[in-house]
Amino acid sequence: MVDHDFKMRLNAQRQRVEDMFDFEGRKVGRGTYGHVYKACPRNDDGEYKNQYAIKLIEGAGISMSACREIALLRELKHPNVISLQRVFLSHSDRKVWLLFDYAEHDLWHIIKFHRAAKASKRTVMVPKGMVKSLLFQILDGIHYLHSNWVLHRDLKPANILLMGDGPERGRVKIADMGFARLFNNPLKPLADLDPVVVTFWYRAPELLLGARHYTKAIDIWAVGCIFAELLTSEPIFHCRQEDIKTSNPYHQDQLDRIFNVMGFPNEKDWEDIRKMPEYQKLTTDFKRNAYLSSNLQKYMEKHKVKSECRAFLLLQKLLTMDPTKRISAQEAMDDPYFKEEPTPTSDVFLGCPIPYPKREFLTDEETEEKSEMTKQSTQATLPPVATLSTVGSLDQPGPMKKMRMNESECHTSGSDVDHAVDHGLGSDAQHQSGYGDHVIESELWSSFSASFLINSIIIRKYFFYQCSIFILHFQQCPMYV
């Protein structure tokens, strides 16, 4: 039993997040499960020092996605993966705040900038050296995740952050680990836990065909999609998004778009395609002859990317239909593409004269999606084959439906995964490691199943208690709310 006087003294020492940081009116987007704000620490003299991104998790308590992301980020440490700086837990209203370093840019806004220039007949492509540095750092971060048995499962331009001015200027940070999973020894097929993963435009064909035991190759396919988008300033596999909230992994329109670019797959190129759960639908929903003239080479040459260049040859390896033949992150990093000039740099903006705009603040009522759609008429146009009635905004595919727990104790339910940016990064010097004695607690978080929590009130309360102990154990209690 905690001494009452001690508890009162401890509560008096705690500071509110609102008192420590100024972030009112500075909303910059949403992540997988919360709102993200640009925050500045308050000093005694009223001046601001460093800038941070602070994420307020939606609802009271903490969701399984938040637990999973916190547990993973506590143990992952790499220059190209976001670093969780601190976790704040409010005992009064049970709100949870995550603190990251602030990233001024993300790949979605950068590609959007170039697409807008292209639409206004001012073709300004992403500089070749910048593309190479971006891709190399993304692959480096993904290789680190895969080497530690982690699948990201939601790679897209919005989740690739870029540091602004400062010691890590131009550094890539892979963000939003809310969908990440360990894949070394799952208790059941990953498809049973999450039947639909990865935003549609970046979803690998094996996922669309209902693969139950998918691998790290799904992340590689998404990297290939991002690479193609950097080279052309357009999403390579954009499609209709009316049924984005379905739990069925099969998506005919997305497969049609892939086949229109890549051609229809055959057993020679993909030996196990007949084993895909949704394979029979390929024979009923598609006509093979309709895609005879389609191939990646033709598509990229239409966008002025020559088939003999190193970039295209690497892209082919990343976008291989058969996941067993798809190149790994390490193999991609060793590709000759990165050996020729200009070689990759740690600052992707090095030598780039383009003044990319900074983030804009959103109102409480305005989501990032609505904010961007109000600008489409002046900043971007759809391709000739697309219409507003059939294709989502080319700025970004629609949000995925995030599976949530229904109980109000742990988290609010029915929230969609918005496609705005998760803003969080951290320097190595400021990173607080989660290794050592706390690994067991992290694994405990990752191993709890949502159904187990839902079916047991006692376990739910115990789970939240353990989360609180886990968070406070890493930090100095007086500094917490």
Query: Rounded to whole angstroms, what are the CA distances from 369 to 39, 53, 155, 452, 468?
Result: 22, 19, 18, 34, 33
Closest CA to 270 of 360, 204, 202, 339: 204
Write the CB contacts of 141 (distance below 8 Å, at least 6 apart in sequence).
Answer: 78, 79, 80, 81, 172, 173, 174
Write the CB contacts of 460 (distance below 8 Å, at least 6 apart in sequence).
Answer: 407, 409, 410, 453, 454
Calculate the dihedral angle through the C-alpha atoms of 398, 400, 405, 406, rounding to the nearest 10 degrees.
Answer: 40
Residue 461 marked in a binding site: no
Packed helices 107-119 and 217-232: angle between N→C axes, nearest 10 degrees: 30
Q: Are strands 34-41 and 21-22 parallel, antiparallel or unpaired?
A: antiparallel
Q: Are strands 160-162 and 172-174 parallel, antiparallel or unpaired?
A: antiparallel
CA 104 to CA 110: how far, in whole Å? 11
Q: Hey, which residues are catalytic here?
A: 154
Residues belonging to the binding site are: 55
Residues belonging to the binding site for ATP are: 55
